[in-house]
Amino acid sequence: MAALDADPQAAAAVPAFRSPAGETLPCGRAFPSASTLKRASLDGAPLPESPSLEAIADWAFLIRRPVLKGMNGFDDKRFSEHWAELEMCWQIRNAGKRIVAAPGAAAILHPAPPVRDQTLLAADRVSGAASYLAKRNGLLAGLLFRLSCAFTALSSGRLSLFTAILSASRVDPT
């Protein structure tokens, strides 16, 4: 809260993340291009790190309630498990606000539980990225992204992923 109180233009704050061993984990990202999102969606790689807090990892952050209420167009259901934080960060920036670091707040990020079905997760990442791109660049951009990912999966012999992307398979958020 202190980081938000210190900066009236701050809409959200992120803690200092550390691994269980105490290593600093950067959470800042730049807004990704469609090609970066494609690689991250199909392969499960994290988005490239950036010293800027233009966009942030979805690990944890604090957002002002009025800012969240002001996001009339934010619908986290359209993203399922992946990339909703990009939309939220975009809306924060679009409102002329910023995300600030809260170095006095620390959080330990523990390893994720064992990975579920990789094909379903990849299809879900593609679906979330397509939703983000469609909202930012229009419905056609989202559709072309989805088709590009599907045909990349097909050309690399990942038939089950090709099918999952075209059928818009997603992780059940409940």
**So what's the pLDDT on residue 84?**
85
Structurally, the chain folds into a number of domains equal to 1
Domain range for 119: 2-166
With H, G, I as helix, E, B as strand and everything else as coil, classify residue 77.
helix
In tens, the pLDDT along 100-120 reads 999 889 899 998 787 678 899
Domain membership of residue 140 (yes or no) is yes
Q: Which residues contact 38 (CB under 8 A, 6 or more apart)?
A: 129, 145, 148, 149, 152
Angle at the Cα of 137 from the Cα atoms of 132 and 139, rounded to 5 degrees? 80
**pLDDT value at position 83?**
86
Model pTM above 0.75: yes
Low-confidence ranges of the chain (pLDDT < 50): none
CA distance 55 to 154: 31
The confidence score (pLDDT) of residue 58 equals 84
Is 174 inside a domain boundary? no
Residue spans of beta strands (DSSP E) within the chain: 10-18, 24-25, 28-29, 55-56, 62-63, 98-108
Residue 130 lies inside a defined structural domain of this protein: yes
pLDDT at 130: 94
Rounded to whole angstroms, the Cα distance separating 149 from 140 reads 14
Specify if 171 maps to a domain: no
pLDDT given for residue 65 in this prediction:
84
